[in-house]
Amino acid sequence: MDGDIVGDCEVTSRSPLRRAGEVASFSPATIIKLSISMTTDLLCRLTSANDHPLRSDGDYVLYWMIAQRRLRYSFALDYAIERAIEFERPLLIFEPLRIRYQWASDRLHRFVIEGMRDNACQAAELGVSYYPYVEPQPGHGTPLLHRLAARACTVVTDEYPCFFLPTMIAAVKARIPARLELVDGNGILPLRRAEKTYTVAHSYRRYMQKNVLDELQRTPAANPLPCPTLPRPRSSLIDRKILKRWPAADFKDLLDRDGLANLPIDHRVRPSTVCPGGSVEATRRLTDFLHRKLEHYDDDRNQPDEHATSGLSPYLHFGHMSAHEIVLKLFEREGWTAEQVSPPNGKNHGFWNLSAPAEGFLDQMLTWREIGFNWSFMNSATYDSLESLPNWARETLREHTGDERPYRYTLEEFEGARTHDPLWNAAQTEIVRTGLMHNYMRMLWGKKILHWTGSPQEALDVMIHLNNKYGLDGRDPNSYCGILWVLGRTDRAWGPKRPVFGSVRYMTSDSARKKLRLNEYLKEFGPE
């Protein structure tokens, strides 16, 4: 969506909530006043991880890019630019990729590095200093942040409530020789706006509908760079000794010459052949979805043969695309204005008063995706555990733990798609081969893992391992919430009670075959 421009520097996004004919006009002299306004707008998204002093004599403002890995529609980038203008110092964007994370593989590494390559190309065009670093051995890059922070006025980074990122922030916040400021750019609603955990979609949806118009008036800049008021460095911001010890990522070696083979990561999980990483591919997929697939979304998204889903979850997970960009471009396509909304009612259709496919997609983006972030943020110690299930689900699963299972499979048999069920095997083959799994098939996939393991805990462990190892959208609040939904989270009790499941929602491959179009899906992912 187009933004209001000051020279070449976009300072705010044009919101669909602005009244017709209302135009903002800014001059460079007012940009500092605007930055004060921006900080006020960001208060709910901004927190300091430590109380170290800001340094007006620093050489630059450092943006440590760890979750929102893009140069568009990013609250953290907007804030880092604002800080650099305030300190009258250049901005240095540092995007690292560590080697020590669980399930590190060629697939996940390549996806991230393809995004880094896009960022490097864009940064060069936009005239901003960008330093991509891929760690070659465990621990080799550990001192690098400390060295860069030592010369920074402040360090701005992304807040992300899941996987190893909160632990990483906790480990460095006291030792880092600079202020460390966290910016929440995860979704349309700030993590801290909610005052409680929402346990079912209806209640979260109602909360979202009450607050979303407010938040849509505070959108990140579509194109914050290039910015004429951002100071430019007179020479390289990075010391030669640093670059010699920690060379910038060589994308030709890593991506074109198979340099990934030299890294100590899991080479058995091969890169996806159908889902390359990066903001360029994310933009292409969003455009294709809005102009070609959206009209069929409401009717066909649950049909594996129809390929009607957006395919954007990996790009949201790795920060190659923003939820704001997706929602705003959907509004633009639909010609939506704020006057169209109905009073909040908690229903999944009829609030926005858009086409049925657009309403269905917005419900996935703004309710089901963001309730997962609400869970992870409000329950940091238990978001990935059985403790996060509602009492009724824990009780009914405990009552039926001793029930006889019709089949029992080991992790190795699940991983190798060696069950008796061709439909389940096809779903597992899809994620192993492509890094993706059709949304409906993932629900069935999880339900049968519960049915074919010895306990709910074993089922949860298997789901987490397979999803996080192979899925490009794994290790994400949304995917953890989906996995725990299999066991009853954000759902209700169902009857009649069944063996193994008790009151937890039951699904079967036979019923899926009756209502889904699966011929092409099974041809592609069934037995060769």
CATH number at residue 77: 3.40.50.620
Please indicate, yes or no, if residue 195 is contained in any of the structural domains. no
Q: Supply 455's token pair.
A: 């306990």
Residue 19: inside a domain:
yes
Residue 199: inside a domain, yes or no? no
Do residues 105 and 234 both lie within one domain? yes
**CA-based diameter of the chain, in Å?**
73
What H or E segment, with its residue span, contains residue 42? helix 31-42
Residue 132: predicted pLDDT: 98
Indicate whether 170 and 233 sit together in one domain: yes
In a domain, 495, yes or no: yes
Overall size of the chain counted in residues: 528
pTM confidence score: 0.92
Which residue range(s) make up the domain with 496?
A: 386-525
Does one domain contain both 358 and 413? no
Q: How many domains does the chain have?
A: 3
Query: Does one domain contain both 32 and 89?
Result: yes
Looking at the structure, tell me whether residues 149 and 295 fall in a common domain: no
Q: Using the CB atoms, write b or e for 52-61: b if 16+ within 10 Å.
A: bebbeebbbb
* 136, 285: one domain: no
50 CB-contact burial (10 Å; exposed 0-12 / middle 13-18 / buried 19+): middle
Which of 374, 395, 413 is where one domain is finished?
374
Residues 114 and 155 in one domain: yes
Residues 423 and 360 in one domain: no
- 482: CB partners within 8 A, 6+ apart: 372, 442, 443, 446
Last residue of a domain, one of 354, 374, 394: 374
E strand or H helix at 46: strand 46-48
pLDDT at residue number 235: 87
What CATH number should be reported for the domain holding residue 446? 1.10.579.10
CATH of the domain at 297: 1.25.40.80
Contacts with 374 (C-beta within 8 Å, 6 or more apart), sequence order: 191, 194, 197, 198, 204
Do the beta carbons of residue 50 and residue 179 sit within 8 Å? Answer: yes
Do 160 and 302 share a domain, yes or no?
A: no
Residues 86 and 154 in one domain: yes
| Assigned domain for 270 exists | no
Residue 212 resides in a domain: no
Same-domain pairing of 154 and 245: yes
Close Cβ partners of 154 (under 8 Å, ≥ 6 residues apart): 54, 55, 58, 61, 62, 83, 87, 178, 179, 180, 181
Nearest to 96 by CA among 25, 158, 36, 19: 158
> Would 450 be classed as within a structural domain?
yes
The answer to whether the CB of 256 falls within 8 A of the CB of 268 is: no
Which residues of the chain have a pLDDT value below 50? Answer: 1-37
- The domain boundary, picked from 344, 374, 404, lies at 374
Residues 441 and 366 in one domain: no
The confidence score (pLDDT) of residue 234 equals 86
**Within-domain flag for 190:** no
